[in-house]
Structure 1
């Protein structure tokens, strides 16, 4: 299946769902299609372990000081949960932005790594988001997986095989370096990823970096160094990003009061919360609520 054929398949599915101006749908478990008919502003978000292919249009993501641009035909791999800003750059009514994404399964990656054997050379550059031109093999596999939508028997039998093939292609791709690190259970990347999941699960409670480092089997200094290399932030900064993005969701989607949102995500001081919220998003939480009311 070519990129053009995959775009047609995705477009036909989304048209059957009468999708709106900017909408996300999931035709298969852990598989998403996103359509936007206009460019968007920069929005704070979290990239979870995922692989994306842009079928039409272009997008931009900012992680730390790095800006990552990718367009139709390119793939992006997010090896672990990372705070970022993202926006759709090219999109219109006539040619909407269309992208697909599939959640990554660490169990499949590690199983494949055992079958493949440890890679001889691993690039030491740690990039939480990495892009490359999609191979024909990856585009074809993604297309065959999407084509299983509405076919429960084929999905039951062929789905796991194609999913494994997709993970294999990503693991050996030119932008799969972080996945190769991640698939090694004793690697620094793997240990930091364990820590990331611990912070994500317990982001509301006070974080002790030495205790977390000990829990994942690293010295405090080594943990701090590798955490910053991999996530482009310190553990405490990472926790703060989680808190603020969740608070923004509570305010925007549930119209939660400022003080309630602050306490809900782990802040003890609404004043400190408002100050850090304003610094990150450009508007105070009260301004956000005023716009929504």
Structure 2
């Protein structure tokens, strides 16, 4: 199946356009289909482990100081939970998103071990031309949507194949490291999981390092190499993103959002929020219901 045919099949999973700027559905476990009808400005988010195959349009993702543009036929592979900013540069934009399952990846360790000696530098986020074998596996997985029995029987088999294709591809070096429980990549993944669970509380970084079996200096080095942030900077990103979610949902005032995510000072929160998002937190609060429609 070529890319145009896969794009047509993926688009059939989406509802008819409703006038909104984007649509997202999950027709199968681990699989998402995303469409943007218009270019977007940069938005901050935490990408969880995923492979994104662009079927139409162009998107740019930024991690730290590095930019990763991608277009039709290219894959973005993310190995860890990473704070990024991203925008759709060219629309209509259509993409498949397939979640990377760490347990499934580790179940393949014996099969992928032979590829672990690849000279390609392992990277937590990378963009590559999507290999034909991976496109084929994703296409067969998408074809299972709406076929309840086939999806139940064949879905797990194809999902396992997709993980195998990812881990043995040129871009899969970091996934091969994650397949090992005793690797630095796995230790940092465990630390990130702890930070995401406990981001509201003060965290002693030396204790966090010891909890994943690393010295503080080694922990800082490898954490920043993967996330482009220090552990405390990463925690701050999580706090600000959660505060923005609360404000946009109308679930909290500015001060309540600040304290809910772990800040002790609303003033400091507002300052860091404005520095991160380019506008004060009040700008992200929904308008009062008493505001007349125009």
Please give the residue correspondences for 1:1-293 in structure 2 after superposition, counting only pairs within 5 Å.
1-15=1-15, 20-91=20-91, 96-117=92-113, 119-123=115-119, 125-289=121-285, 292-293=287-288
Distance across 1 between alignment mates of 2:40 and 2:5 = 26
Distance 2:84 2:55 in 1: 22
- Cα contact 2:122–2:171 (8 A) shared by 1: no
CA distance in 1, matches of 2:148, 2:89: 36
Cα gap change, 1:185 to 1:162, in 2 (>3 Å): same
Is contact 1:126–1:230 with CA below 8 Å preserved after alignment?
A: no
- Give the alignment's TM-score, normalised by structure 2: 0.94
Deviations 1:194-246 (A, max 9, x none): 00001001110101101001100011111111111111100000000000011
Alpha-carbon distance in structure 2 between the residues aligned to 1:21 and 1:36: 6
Match of 2:292 in 1: none
Name the CA distance, whole Å, in 1 between partners of 2:205 and 2:120.
Answer: 24
Q: Structure 1 residues 50-59 or 9-18, which shifts more?
A: 9-18
Does the residue aligned with 1:184 lie in a helix, a strand or coil? Answer: coil
Q: TM-score, normalised to structure 1's length?
A: 0.94
| 3-state DSSP of counterpart to 1:77 | strand
Q: CA RMSD in A?
A: 1.6
Contact 2:53–2:95 (Cα < 8 Å) also in 1: yes
The change in CA–CA distance for 1:18 and 1:161 in structure 2 (over 3 A counts) is farther
Contact 2:32 2:96 in 1 (8 A): yes
Q: Tell me the distance in 2 between the aligned counterparts of 1:284 and 1:185.
A: 42
- State the shift of 1:117 in Å: 2.5
Partner Cα distance (2:8, 2:98) in 1: 18
Q: What are the superposed Cα offsets for residues 100-129 of structure 1, whole Å, 9 maximum, x if unpaired?
A: 101111111111122333545255845321
User: In structure 2, what is the Cα distance between the partners aligned to 1:266 and 1:103?
Assistant: 29
SS for the counterpart of 1:117 is helix
For the structure 1 residues 126 and 176, does the alpha-carbon distance in structure 2 shift closer, same or farther, using more than 3 Å as the test?
closer
Cα deviation, residue 36, structure 1: 0.7
Cα displacement (A) at 1:13: 2.1
| Cα contact 1:122–1:181 (8 A) shared by 2 | no
Instruction: Report the alpha carbon displacement of residue 255 of structure 1 after superposing the two structures with TM.
Output: 4.7
The whole-number CA distance in structure 1 between the counterparts of 2:19 and 2:173 is 35
Change in 2 beyond 3 A, CA 1:217/1:271: same
**Separation of aligned partners in 1, 2:41 and 2:272:** 20
Instruction: Tell which deviates more after alignment, 49-58 or 248-257.
Output: 248-257
1:98 positional shift? 0.3
Residues 24-71 of structure 1 deviation map (CA, whole Å, 9 limit, x = unaligned):
111112211110111000001111011110000010011100011000
Unaligned runs of 5+ in 2: 289-294
- Whether contact under 8 Å (1:39, 1:88) holds in the other structure is yes
